Amino acid sequence: MRKKKIDLASIKSKYDEGVNIMQELQKEFEVDYNSPEIIEIAYDMQTGSYIENVNDAHILYFNECADIMAKHIGKATTMLDAGAGELTTTSGIVNSLKFEGQMYAFDISWSRLYIGQKYFKKKTNKNINVFIADLKNIPVLDNSIDVVYTNHALEPNRGFEDDILKQLCRIAKEKIILFEPYYEAGSEEIKKRMDSHNYVRDLEGAISRAGGKLEEIIKLENSVNSVNPTYAFIISPTSIVYSKNQENKYRCPVSGYELTKLDSCYYSYESLLAYPIIENIPVLKSDSAIIASKMD
C-alpha cells in the first residue's frame, strides 16, 4: 500500500519536462531509496521509450547476451525474463537463441508489458506468458523454471539485492544469468553515477548469501551505455527441490500456495485469494489480492 496519495498527472508532467523521475518520487514518498512503488510509477511513465529507442547497438547487445546464454542453458525447456520491461531484450534474445521452449516474463509495470506483448508478437513467432510481479516476491513455484535471467532489472534496487537473489535462487532449477551493472568493477565515475541512481552493488555477496554459486563474471563488449557497462553473472542455484506440478508455474505471493487459472482470475483455494487478469495479463502482486472465499 502506498504511504500517500500521489498526483500521477503531475508526476507525468515533470517526467515529460525531463525531470529525474525516480529522484522526484523519492521526494514525494519521503525516502532515500527506490521502493517498489517508485520503480513501478517511474517505469510506467517511461512506457514506450525502450521500444522507440531500439537500434543497431541494441541488436548487437541482444546477440551477445544470447551468445553467452547459449553456452550455459543446456537443454532448457522453460525460461523466464525477470523484470522484462517492454520485452525488447526478451524478443532479441529469444530470436537469436532460437529458443523453442516455453517463455515467461514479468515486470512490475502493467503498461510496459501491455505494449511489450505487441512488440514481442511483431518481432517473434513465439508465444510468451507474461504477468505482473515484484522482483522481491516472485509468484513462481520453487525450482520450476530451468533458466532465469535479468537485464538491468536489479539495477535500481539498491538495498534489496539479498531479497531479490533469494527469490531468483528459489525459482530457478538449472541456471541464473544476470545481465547487470557491476559496481565493484566500475571506475570512480561509474561508481559515483551508480551511487546517485541508487543502483545495485555487492551482487557477488548477495549471490553467496542467497545460496547461489557464482561460476563466472563476463564483461560484455557491446554494452549500450558506456557509462553503465553490462556484466553477465553466471549462477547455479545450489539447493534444488523440484515442484510437484511442473505444468503450473504460479503461486500465491501472499501464502505461497499454488494458483489455479479460472476464467477471470488466478485463484488460491488454500488462501482464498484471487488475482485479476487485465487484458490477458495476470496481476500477481500481493497488494492486488482480493479476498474471494465464495469463488467456485
Backbone φ and ψ of 38, nearest 5°: -65, -45
Residue 2: its pLDDT value, please?
46
Residue 30: its pLDDT value, please?
80
Class of the CATH-defined domain 55-237 = alpha beta
Helix %, strand %, coil % of the chain (to 5): 35, 25, 40
Cell 541464473, residue located:
176
Residue 25: its pLDDT value, please?
80
According to CATH, what is the number of the domain 250-296? 2.20.25
Backbone φ and ψ of 293, nearest 5°: -70, -20
Residue 4: its pLDDT value, please?
58
28 within 8 A of 20, measured Cβ to Cβ: no
pLDDT in tens, the chain (296 residues): 345 577 777 777 777 777 776 677 887 788 877 777 777 777 777 777 778 888 899 999 999 999 999 999 988 999 999 999 999 999 999 999 988 899 999 999 999 999 999 999 999 999 999 999 999 999 999 999 999 999 999 999 999 999 999 999 999 999 999 999 999 999 999 999 999 999 999 999 999 999 999 999 999 999 999 999 999 999 999 765 555 546 789 999 999 999 999 999 999 999 999 999 999 999 999 999 999 999 87
Sequence-ordered alpha helix ranges (H) in 134-280:
161-171, 188-197, 203-209
* Radius of gyration, CA atoms only, the chain: 19
Q: Longest C-alpha distance within the chain, in Å?
A: 59
- Cα 72 versus chain centre, distance: 20
Burial class of residue 267, CB neighbours in 10 A (0-12, 13-18, 19+): buried
Instruction: List, in sequence order, every residue forming a beta bridge with 250; answer none if it has no partner.
Output: 140
User: Distance between CA 8 and CA 25 in Å, rounded?
Assistant: 10
